[in-house]
Structure 1
Amino acid sequence: MIATVVWGTGNVGRAAIRAVAAHPGLALTAVVVHDPAKVGHDAGPLADLGRELGVHATDDVDAVLAEGPRAVVYAASGDVRFDGALTDVVRAVRTGAVVVTPALYPLYDQRNAPAELREPVLAAIADGGGSLFVSGVDPGWGNDVLPVLVSGLGSTVDAVRCQEIFDYSTYEQPDSVRHLVGMGQPMDYQPPMLMAGVPAIVWGGQVRLIARALDVEVDEIRETLDRRPLETDVTTRTMGEFGRGTQGAVRFEVQGIVGGKPRIVIEHVTRIHPSCAPDWPRPPSGAGAHRVIIEGRPRIEVTVEATDEGENRSAGGNATAAGRLVNAIPWLANAKPGLYDALDVPIRPGHLRRA
């Protein structure tokens, strides 16, 4: 059994705890939290698992890492504290642990990441013998291995489009939704996540991963952006009220330009309420979906819907993102120490639950 720590109990962390607890080759040995109110609580209820796991949350990072865990799922956010997340991850890697995380998005495509990000990680790997694998929470597999896999089903590929279509009204991350993305803010508010150049920083690595798999060079990364206001006041279950006239929907693309045309595109369509921007792409059902469209011969379209944490909760994307990371741990534990990306780490078969 691989001793595994889950660091963080937010949307991804809860799903990671459930995934570790269900994996026959992993043993949950510690859960790290930031909120003092969660310290001492059993990991099972914290993860909405419906049972206790006998592992109690702690905020003593030093003590947890001193135990020398073989693996760490770093599920704390890197959106508003990227430097802090990088410091935490480097610290865990230096102990010799296999670390998996969605927090360090510039390392999705680690080969092309800035030297100031790669070098601390590589130094920690050299010092401690650990490894790092970063995959996105949007979820990463939907913007790298899935489109690459589906592209291999046709005879010709003209363009690849990956879509996340999501309703934020059931999401439980108000700081990110209201301030980073700008939902409920005046239309003249500049959301940090939508500032020119930021989407390319976050998702450009995934565009380059697809390009590398398809053996093409991306000439440049371009962005498009559209925003829509709410036409009426709305109230959400998890984040309260959003006013009429404030931002209610966002649609943007991160385009990989090949031969002068957008040939590899990652598109996000997000709403705070289903009534906003009704003419934009919508999920077949529920709160969200992830879609891959291969333009070529034949044209191929694959839509994936995932639900978790109850039928009215929209955490399915988080759960599959966490599953991709957690299920990669055994492969990474058997591989040589290193810095890995999604094209390096295979998706492993799941585990059929025994009755």
Structure 2
Amino acid sequence: MISTVVWGTGNVGRAAIRAVDAHPALKLTAVLVHNPDKVGRDAGQLCGLTHELGITATDDIDAVLAAGPTAVVYAASGDIRPDEALADITRAISAGAVVVTPALYPLYDQRNAPPEFRDPVLAAVADGGGSLFVSGVDPGWGNDVLPLLISGLGTTIDAIRCQEIFDYSTYDQEDSVRYLVGMGQPMDYQPLMLVETVPTMVWGGQIRLMARALGVQLDEIRETSDRRPLDATVSTRTMGEFAAGTQGAVRFEVQGIVQGEPRIVIEHVTRIHPSCAPDWPAPPGGGDGAHRVVIEGRPRIEVTVEATDEGENRSAGGNATAVGRLVGAIDWLVGAEPGLYDALDIPLRPAVGKLGRKQS
């Protein structure tokens, strides 16, 4: 069994604990938390299981890494703390661990990553013999392996579009929703996520990754965005009220331009309530969220994926599938040479040993 640590117990960490516990090749050996109120609580309780796992959460990073875990799922956020996340991750790699994480956007396409991110990781790999695989939480497979797989079914391809369609009203991360995305803010507020070049910083690596796999040269990467206000005040279960006239929906694209045309596109359509921007794409059946890949060409191919978790919550379902991709890569990484890997390196494999496996 591969001793595995989950570092962080937010939206991603909860799903990671469940995924590690369910994986037949992995053994959960520690859970790291930052919030002192979580220290000493059982991992099963923290991740929403109905039974205890016998692992109590700790904030003692030194002790956990000194125990020599084989793998670490780094589930702490890197949205507004990329330097701290990079330091944590390189620390685990230097301790010899295989690390999987969605936290470091610049390393989605590790071959073209900025040296200030890539070089510390490579130094940690050389020092400690660990490895790193980064894949997005939005989820990464929806912007790399799935569209690339489907592209192989076409005769001719004009464009590839990857969509995340998401209702934030059930998302349990208020600071990100209100301040990073800008939901509930005045329409003259500048959300950090939409500051020029930020979408490219976050999703440009996946555009470049797909271009590399498809054997095409990008002319450039462009960004477009649109925002809509709420017509009426709405109330959410997890984050309270969002006032009429404030931002209620965001739609943006990161476009990979090939021969002057947007050929590889990652699009996000996000709302705080389904009544906002009803003319924009919506999940089928009025659900909370969906991930869609559209291959424009001959034939035209469209695939929509909906996932539910944590009480029919599709936002949690997206997190769970993103985590499944990361956690499912651990045993492959353990058997591979130490290094820095991306989504084109890691095979998407069948769920061996999981069929029929029960988890409360």
TM range (shorter): over 0.9
Task: Mark the CA change 1:8 to 1:217 in structure 2 (over 3 Å): closer, same or farther.
Answer: same
2:306–2:314 Cα contact (<8 Å) kept: no
1:171–1:313 Cα contact (<8 Å) kept: no
- The aligned residue for residue 83 of structure 1 is 83
**Distance in 2 (alpha carbons) for counterparts of 1:3 and 1:250:** 41
- The aligned residue for residue 317 of structure 1 is 318
**Distance in 1 (alpha carbons) for counterparts of 2:178 and 2:70:** 37
**Matched residue count:** 355
- The aligned residue for residue 44 of structure 2 is 44
The 5 A counterparts of 1:301-316 are: 301-312=302-313, 314-316=315-317
**Distance in 2 (alpha carbons) for counterparts of 1:15 and 1:84:** 22
**Distance in 2 (alpha carbons) for counterparts of 1:225 and 1:86:** 29
- The aligned residue for residue 292 of structure 2 is 291
Q: Secondary structure at the match of 2:211?
A: helix
Q: Aligned letter for 1:46?
A: L
CA shift at 1:313, angstroms? 5.7
Q: Secondary structure at the match of 1:308?
A: coil
**Distance in 1 (alpha carbons) for counterparts of 2:288 and 2:196:** 27
**Distance in 1 (alpha carbons) for counterparts of 2:357 and 2:330:** 21
CA shift at 1:13, angstroms? 0.3
- The aligned residue for residue 64 of structure 1 is 64
- The aligned residue for residue 244 of structure 2 is 244
Deviation digits for residues 86-109 of structure 1 (CA, Å, limit 9, x no counterpart): 000000000110000000000000
Deviation digits for residues 42-83 of structure 1 (CA, Å, limit 9, x no counterpart): 000100011100000000000000000000000000001111
2:289–2:315 Cα contact (<8 Å) kept: yes
- Please list every run of 5 or more consecutive structure 2 residues that lacks an aligned counterpart in the other structure: none
**Distance in 1 (alpha carbons) for counterparts of 2:51 and 2:219:** 51
2:7–2:73 Cα contact (<8 Å) kept: yes
**Distance in 1 (alpha carbons) for counterparts of 2:11 and 2:166:** 15
2:94–2:130 Cα contact (<8 Å) kept: yes
**Distance in 2 (alpha carbons) for counterparts of 1:149 and 1:81:** 33
- The aligned residue for residue 29 of structure 2 is 29
**Distance in 1 (alpha carbons) for counterparts of 2:356 and 2:270:** 34
- The aligned residue for residue 327 of structure 2 is 326
Q: Secondary structure at the match of 1:157?
A: strand
CA shift at 1:312, angstroms? 4.3
Task: Mark the CA change 1:174 to 1:123 in structure 2 (over 3 Å): closer, same or farther.
Answer: same
**Distance in 2 (alpha carbons) for counterparts of 1:293 and 1:34:** 40
TM-score, normalized by length of structure 2?
0.98
Q: Aligned letter for 1:288?
A: G
The 5 A counterparts of 1:74-113 are: 74-113=74-113
CA shift at 1:354, angstroms? 3.9
**Distance in 1 (alpha carbons) for counterparts of 2:179 and 2:117:** 25
- The aligned residue for residue 147 of structure 2 is 147
**Distance in 1 (alpha carbons) for counterparts of 2:315 and 2:357:** 27
CA shift at 1:353, angstroms? 2.5
CA shift at 1:119, angstroms? 0.5
**Distance in 2 (alpha carbons) for counterparts of 1:94 and 1:303:** 40
1:139–1:317 Cα contact (<8 Å) kept: yes
**Distance in 2 (alpha carbons) for counterparts of 1:149 and 1:334:** 24
- The aligned residue for residue 206 of structure 1 is 206
1:68–1:95 Cα contact (<8 Å) kept: yes
**Distance in 1 (alpha carbons) for counterparts of 2:191 and 2:300:** 35
Deviation digits for residues 149-194 of structure 1 (CA, Å, limit 9, x no counterpart): 0000111111000000000000000000000000000000011111
Aligned alpha-carbon RMSD (Å) = 0.7
- The aligned residue for residue 125 of structure 2 is 125
**Distance in 2 (alpha carbons) for counterparts of 1:277 and 1:345:** 38
- The aligned residue for residue 343 of structure 2 is 342
Given candidates 338, 351, 356, the residue that maps to 1:353 is 356
Deviation digits for residues 272-305 of structure 1 (CA, Å, limit 9, x no counterpart): 0000000000000310000000001100000000
CA shift at 1:314, angstroms? 2.7
**Distance in 2 (alpha carbons) for counterparts of 1:334 and 1:354:** 24
2:34–2:59 Cα contact (<8 Å) kept: yes
1:177 paired with 2:177, answer yes
Q: Aligned letter for 1:349?
A: P
Q: Secondary structure at the match of 1:133?
A: strand
2:135–2:342 Cα contact (<8 Å) kept: yes
Q: Secondary structure at the match of 1:315?
A: helix
